[in-house]
């Protein structure tokens, strides 16, 4: 208290917080993750530059699977419904998330859109993020894996220029492989080297959505991810059982 | 009066970068802490920004300037503490240099990011009436 008049001097108080500024998003992402697990759906956050072939990869995936019945997709788009329309034509139940001028999807936008998409029967739910190699990497959406599309036309050094994005990738799908013969300066070895400097466990699958090359390996990767999820769930159950029996 | 003449019907087109969302989360968190303690003003904030957090310090600062005006942080200084990315072996914990191949030079196991991917509100200094 103030000695002169007893007015109650304000006091400067330091408050230690030490909390991530993404904590709010992370809570919604955890909620999304629970939803996906409940329905046995694997959510994949598909990221990449504009025009790197995210939508084309999903179209090729549906073709290779003989239709999109086991798939569902949410497409982040600044202004249009075009990507979701393309995916619906490919037989994939899809819905757009129109972000306006926002540069990324966040967990809340995904959560709201989930209420308007029939995704419960899908084995894989693709969340096609806004074309951008910076901010989408920051926001957890509740996904089981991050996949980044990188077109051969983007150059060898993209991973070094966007380390935040590539560090978070579980898989990089190198797209437009059919164009490689026209690009004498692009070497697959140099791309692999750049990835080894940004991804601790680099995994690269080169594909061509046009010719279908590599799509088989991509499907194998998706199946393996589904297998891991089943094993993980079984392990969780086994770990939970003794506790349930005990009390 | 219309400025720029781009947007019709009084629409405000904000150039939206994710630093804007981060600052809105920051102000909301500070307001909540201040309300809980019945603070009358906030003097200083300290935020740690990791090199691989995806947040650019100059953009964060300009976003803060834009949004703090009518908040409890109107006169609060924002101190940003940068944090370098630090990698270590996921197995033997040896340091793995950034920029090189992200494998342990000793045992070959994949590296793990030990620091530098967070954006954290560390500390708030606020004015609380003496009671």
DSSP A216-232: HHHHHHHHHHHHHHHHH
* Residue B126 at interface with chain A, using a CB cutoff of 8 Å: yes
Closest CA to A20 of B116, B48, B34: B48
A99: which residues sit within 8 A by CB, 6+ positions away? Answer: A76, A77, A78, A105, A109, A130
For the segment A209-245, what is each residue's pLDDT rounded down to a tens digit?
999 999 999 999 999 998 887 777 777 777 766 554 4
On average, the pLDDT of chain B sits at 87
Largest CA-CA distance found in chain B, in angstroms, rounded: 67
What single DSSP character describes residue B103?
Answer: B
Q: Which of A12, A15, A101 faces B33 most closely, judged by CB atoms?
A: A15
A196/B37 Cβ within 8 A: no
Distances (CA, A) of A227 to A42, A145, A202, A221, B112: 10, 13, 20, 10, 24
What is the reported pLDDT for A240?
66
The residues of chain A scoring below 70 in pLDDT are 1-9, 240-247
Whether residue A19 lies within 8 A of chain B, CB to CB, comes out as yes
Range of weakest confidence among A13-22, A47-56, B3-12, B44-53: B3-12
Contact flag A13-B125 (C-beta cutoff 8 Å): yes
CB-CB contact of A170 with A47 (8 Å): no
Q: Which residue of B has its CA nearest to A196?
A: B101
CB proximity A161 to B under 8 Å: no
pTM of the model: 0.88
Question: What pLDDT score was predicted for residue A102?
Answer: 77
User: Nearest CA of chain B to the CA of A54: how many Å?
Assistant: 22
Spell out which residues of chain B touch residue A24, defining contact as CB-CB under 8 Å.
25, 28
Taking one residue from A and the other from B, the number of pairs with CB-CB distance under 8 angstroms is 118
How many C-beta atoms surround the C-beta of residue B85 within 10 A? 18
Task: Quote the CA–CA distance of B78 and B114 in Å, as a whole number.
Answer: 25
CA distance A158 to A193: 11
**For the segment A137-158, what is each residue's pLDDT rounded down to a tens digit?**
999 999 999 999 999 999 999 9
Is A200 in contact with B26 (Cβ distance < 8 A)?
no
CB contact under 8 A, B52 and A134: no
Contact A15 B111 (CB under 8 A): no
User: What is the reported pLDDT for A11?
Assistant: 83
| B36 confidence band (pLDDT: 50, 70, 90) | very high
* Among candidates B14, B101, B131 on the partner chain, residue whose Cβ is nearest the Cβ of A8: B131
Of A141, A183, A191, nearest to A166 by C-alpha is A191
User: Across the interface, do B102 and A21 touch by the CB < 8 Å criterion?
Assistant: no
Closest chain B C-alpha to A153 CA, distance in angstroms? 24
What pLDDT does residue A101 have?
Answer: 73
The single-letter DSSP state of residue B110 is: B
Q: Do B119 and A200 touch (CB under 8 A)?
A: no
Question: B43 CB near a chain A CB, below 8 Å?
Answer: yes
Q: What is the model's pLDDT at position A7?
A: 56
Report in angstroms the alpha-carbon separations of B18 from A14, A78, A102, A129, B53.
28, 14, 8, 14, 12
């Amino acid at each position: 208290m103030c000695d002169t008049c007893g007015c109650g001097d304000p006091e400067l108080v330091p408050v230690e917080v030490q909390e991530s500024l993404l904590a709010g998003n992370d809570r919604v992402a955890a909620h999304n993750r629970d939803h996906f697990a409940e329905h046995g759906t694997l959510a994949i956050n598909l990221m990449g530059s504009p025009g790197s072939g995210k939508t084309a990869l999903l179209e090729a995936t549906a073709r290779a699977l003989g239709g999109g019945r086991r798939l569902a997709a949410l497409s982040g788009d600044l202004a249009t419904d075009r990507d979701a329309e393309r995916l619906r034509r490919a037989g994939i139940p899809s819905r757009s998330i129109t972000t306006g001028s926002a540069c990324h999807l966040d967990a809340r936008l995904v959560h709201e859109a989930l209420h308007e998409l029939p995704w419960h029967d899908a084995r894989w739910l693709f969340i096609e993020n806004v074309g951008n190699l910076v901010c989408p990497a920051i926001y957890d959406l509740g996904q089981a894996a991050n996949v980044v599309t990188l077109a051969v036309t983007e150059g060898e050094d993209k991973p070094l220029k966007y380390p935040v994005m590539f560090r978070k990738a579980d898989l990089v799908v190198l797209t437009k492989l059919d164009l490689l013969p026209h690009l004498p300066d692009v070497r697959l070895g140099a791309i692999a080297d750049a990835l080894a400097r940004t991804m601790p466990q680099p995994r690269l699958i080169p594909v061509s959505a046009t010719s279908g090359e590599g799509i088989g390996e991509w499907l194998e990767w998706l199946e393996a991810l589904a297998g891991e999820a089943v094993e993980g769930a079984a392990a969780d159950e086994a770990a939970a059982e003794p506790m349930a029996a005990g009390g | 009066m219309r400025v720029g003449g781009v947007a019709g019907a009084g629409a405000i087109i904000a150039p939206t970068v994710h630093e804007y969302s981060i600052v809105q989360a920051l102000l909301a968190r500070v307001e909540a802490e201040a309300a809980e303690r019945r603070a009358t003003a906030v003097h200083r904030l300290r935020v740690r920004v990791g090199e691989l957090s995806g947040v650019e310090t100059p953009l964060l600062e300009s976003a803060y300037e834009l949004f703090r005006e009518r908040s409890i942080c109107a006169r609060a200084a924002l101190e940003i503490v940068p944090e370098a990315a630090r990698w270590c072996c996921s197995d033997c914990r040896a340091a793995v240099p950034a920029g090189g191949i992200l494998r342990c030079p000793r045992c070959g196991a994949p590296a793990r990011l030990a620091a530098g991917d967070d954006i954290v509100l560390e500390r708030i200094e606020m004015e609380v009436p003496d009671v």
